[in-house]
């Protein structure tokens, strides 16, 4: 019970200290200064969290935390009247988290080193040159580092875009294949459903074909019979015409005609 009371008291004390620090800071900082800080945070290079906090990359964690504390209190949306105070406050919180991330520190350190090497190579100066220590030179290196970070981010987004397009194309291909299988299944079902009808139609066709063949054979037989009859009649007439004079003569000679 006593422990809980102490913890509660510690939390209350922390809250009172925060309120006291906030009141003290608000009394020392003018409204224009708070507005200027909001503008600075919003205009800082978005890919460089150290620039957003307004500190150097080499700033120790304790100094970085103190700086964040001071700036976040300065633009706290409960006290700062700037319309974008809430957005700037959120940016500072995210920047602090990134600055304390080991992987982010490693990437930034390498980026700054690459930018430093490029600038020194372009200006043909060595690391021990006095110009390297000047603020102007540091600004040039930071600007170059920001450009490198921008290029990295651009390539990252291009890669993500290409991967998204490839994934979309893949999904589209899958959907087209599914639709193709669906259409085939439907066609197969229709084909199967009409099987009996096709069998019936085929049998009917065969029966009609057989009937046509029978009729054709019957017609051919009729034609042949008719031709045979015509031929017989023709032969008969020819025989009569040839033998009729002799028949008359024989009749006269035999006296058949007289009878």
pLDDT tens-digit series, residues 46-86: 988 989 999 887 788 889 899 999 899 889 998 888 999 99
pLDDT on residue 249:
57
- Residue 27, both tokens: 């009394």
Average pLDDT over residues 241-250: 55
pTM comes to 0.54
Q: What is the mean pLDDT of residues 198-220?
A: 71
Q: Are 111 and 145 in contact (CB under 8 A)?
A: yes
Q: How far is CA 91 from CA 56, 85, 103, 156, in A?
A: 17, 10, 19, 21
| 191-205 tens-digit pLDDT | 887 777 777 777 777
Sort 22 into a burial class: Cβ within 10 Å, 0-12 / 13-18 / 19+: middle
Least confident of 6-15, 44-53, 239-248: 6-15
pLDDT confidence bin for 26, thresholds 50/70/90: low
Phi, psi of 141 (to 5 degrees): -65, -45
What are the Cα distances from residue 240, in Å, to 10, 156, 214, 234, 249?
152, 116, 39, 10, 14
Amino acid 28: pLDDT: 73
Mean pLDDT to the nearest integer, 97-124: 88
């Amino acid at each position: 019970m006593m422990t809980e009371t102490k913890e509660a008291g510690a939390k209350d004390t922390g809250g009172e200290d925060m309120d006291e620090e906030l009141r003290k800071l608000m009394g020392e900082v003018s409204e224009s200064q708070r507005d200027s800080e909001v503008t600075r945070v919003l205009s800082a290079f978005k890919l460089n969290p150290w620039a957003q906090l307004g500190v150097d990359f080499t700033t120790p964690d304790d100094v970085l935390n103190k700086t964040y504390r001071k700036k976040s209190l300065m633009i706290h949306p409960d006290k700062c009247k700037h319309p974008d105070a809430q957005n700037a406050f959120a940016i500072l919180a995210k920047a602090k988290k990134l600055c304390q991330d080991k992987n982010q520190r490693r990437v930034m350190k390498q980026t700054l080193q690459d930018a430093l090497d490029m600038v020194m190579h372009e200006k043909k100066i060595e690391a021990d040159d006095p110009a390297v220590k000047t603020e102007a030179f540091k600004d040039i290196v930071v600007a170059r580092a920001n450009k490198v970070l921008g290029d990295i981010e651009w390539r990252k987004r291009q890669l993500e875009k290409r991967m998204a397009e490839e994934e979309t194309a893949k999904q589209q291909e899958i959907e087209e294949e599914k639709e193709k299988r669906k259409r085939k299944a439907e066609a197969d079902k229709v084909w199967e459903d009409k099987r009996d009808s096709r069998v019936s139609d085929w049998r009917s066709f065969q029966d009609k074909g057989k009937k046509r063949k029978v009729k054709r054979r019957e017609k051919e037989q009729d034609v042949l019979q008719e031709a045979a009859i015509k031929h017989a009649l023709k032969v008969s007439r020819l025989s009569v015409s040839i033998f009729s004079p002799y028949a008359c003569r024989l009749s006269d000679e035999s006296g058949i005609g007289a009878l």
